[in-house]
Structure 1
Amino acid sequence: MFFKKINLLIFSIATILIVYSCEQNTSSENQFSKHTDELIKKLNNPNGKDILVIAHRGDWRNFPENSLEAMESAIKMGVDMVEMDVKKTKDNKLIIMHDATLDRTTTGKGLVSEWTLDSIKKLYLKNGAGNYTRYKIPTLEEALNTCKGKILVNLDGAYDFFDEAFQLAKKTGTTNQIVLKGYNKKAHEVLSDFGKKLDTIIFMPIINLDTDSDPLQTISDYQSQLHVKAFEIVFSKDTSSVLKRFSKIKEHGSRVWVNSLWASLNAGHDDNEAVKNKDSIYGWFVDHGVNMIQTDRPEMLLEYLRDRKLHN
């Protein structure tokens, strides 16, 4: 009888712990979902005063670029979106890697497309200084699970094999968090390529002011045909009239994304110059109405924006 009571007590305690654990997990998931909903709400409000911060390849100054750890660090900083690059292996698996080759960022050599995933998983990532680390190359599925409910995800280089990426997004429950980039595409081409998928993922065109013969028309077509949520604007000179029309672009329903990564993308308004004088660089973005900034220095940019009440 005594042992029956002990067993009953142990069973009761175990049941309570399981229920408590489930409640905690549900609460945590709800919290993550709520945070993601808030980020999507901000993205959908082109005239909001907040400026969204995108970490280019994650927090690569403290962890290897495009690593899960770089993504996790960006999440902890409070970044709104992490940009990641997608490549396909020899056995048609999607991994997170910027270069077409393994040489610069890993302990391997040669084309990604000539390596199987099993072989790639045996390699290690290098850090920004080129030194070997203990960190591994993630798959797209692993990256999406890491970001699920915590941060928006910008997929770069995934356009040509988006069907596979889209299936992984559905599998991980992250379709609503994804912003897909597209280069040199017209609105009708994107509509033809993706169709109904555009109802569940966000497509962002890249408009190069140096090469597009009529960028204002391209922007207008995208806004009227696809109602895009944002444009990535690239320019090596600050002479284009488009730079004075960011407010109009926002009035018509789209946020304006500009890169502060290196000079050829922003007419010299880059992160390294911001180290010397934040106001002259980040202040220029603010003054021109930019409300999404992709940066290689997310911590510094967040501090600047928060001081000016432009980021939570």
Structure 2
Amino acid sequence: MSIDKSILYMPIVKDATASHIGTFPERQPVAYEVVFNSLQDPQVQPAVLEAIRASIRIWINSMWGSLAAGHTEEGSLRGANANWDALGKLGATVLQTDNVEAIDFWRDGGVLERWNHHPGDESIRVQAGDPVPGGQGVGYLDSDRNKCNLRPEEPMLDVCDIRGRIRPR
């Protein structure tokens, strides 16, 4: 950053580098990419995030659960609590995602459970997970990993739409 003034520098801040925030000698970066695997990590404490946001952007990557304590784009599309709303409440001003159309819809105030919904597009997958006595080839046997989030009250049944989201009751 000190060699070329045209470089837009955005350091990654993790547990080990949380103390580096605000310590650049000549100029501050344009953003910090804050990576955390727990909301107890030092770099996501309210005072630290407020200090960052007071002068520059907070970038959080929502593409993988390991980058933001499970707050993922998939969680956003399912309506889970670990979603873009939660990252915004942390102070994120930049969110990285592969779901550009969905985040644009959400940013404009759309309810993500209704994103990309078209009348008549009500395909639902129901996956039973209770092996029938007799085993494979004799009765139904579920041997693959669950493809949907499980309902706690129905542990052997996956119910979701074709995008992997559980339908509200």
Q: Could you say which TM-score interval applies, normalised by the shorter chain?
A: 0.5 to 0.7
Out of 214, 223, 246, which is 2:49 matched to?
246
Gaps of 5+ in 1: 1-189
One-letter amino acid of the counterpart of residue 218, structure 1: H
Does the CA contact (< 8 Å) of 1:203 and 1:228 recur in 2?
Answer: yes
In the other structure, the counterpart of 2:31 is 230
Displacement of 1:278 in angstroms is 6.2
Give 1 or 2: higher helix fraction. 1
In the other structure, the counterpart of 2:126 is none
Cα separation, 1, equivalents of 2:33 and 2:82 = 21
Change (3 A) 1:237 1:280: closer
Cα separation, 1, equivalents of 2:99 and 2:38 = 22
One-letter amino acid of the counterpart of residue 295, structure 1: T
Change (3 A) 1:267 1:280: closer
Equivalent position SS for 2:34: strand
Displacement of 1:274 in angstroms is 1.3
Does the CA contact (< 8 Å) of 1:271 and 1:295 recur in 2?
Answer: yes
Displacement of 1:291 in angstroms is 0.4
Q: How does 1:31-42 map to 2 (within 5 A)?
A: none
Equivalent position SS for 1:257: strand
Does the CA contact (< 8 Å) of 2:73 and 2:97 recur in 1?
Answer: yes
Cα separation, 1, equivalents of 2:40 and 2:75 = 20
Does the CA contact (< 8 Å) of 1:257 and 1:293 recur in 2?
Answer: yes
Runs of 4+ in 1 over 3 A off after TM superposition: none
Q: How does 1:39-58 map to 2 (within 5 A)?
A: none
Cα separation, 2, equivalents of 1:239 and 1:286 = 17
Out of 259, 273, 295, which is 2:97 matched to?
295
Displacement of 1:280 in angstroms is 4.4
Out of 204, 209, 229, which is 2:10 matched to?
204
Displacement of 1:241 in angstroms is 3.2
One-letter amino acid of the counterpart of residue 232, structure 1: E
Does the CA contact (< 8 Å) of 1:230 and 1:254 recur in 2?
Answer: yes
TM-score, normalised to structure 2's length? 0.58
In the other structure, the counterpart of 1:286 is 88
* Larger RCO, structure (CA 8 Å, separation 6 or more): 1
Count how many residue pairs are aligned between Structure 1 and Structure 2.
108
Cα separation, 1, equivalents of 2:80 and 2:109 = 12
Displacement of 1:201 in angstroms is 2.6
Equivalent position SS for 2:60: strand
Displacement of 1:225 in angstroms is 3.2
One-letter amino acid of the counterpart of residue 276, structure 1: R
One-letter amino acid of the counterpart of residue 205, structure 1: P
TM-score, normalised to structure 1's length? 0.32
Does the CA contact (< 8 Å) of 1:278 and 1:304 recur in 2?
Answer: no
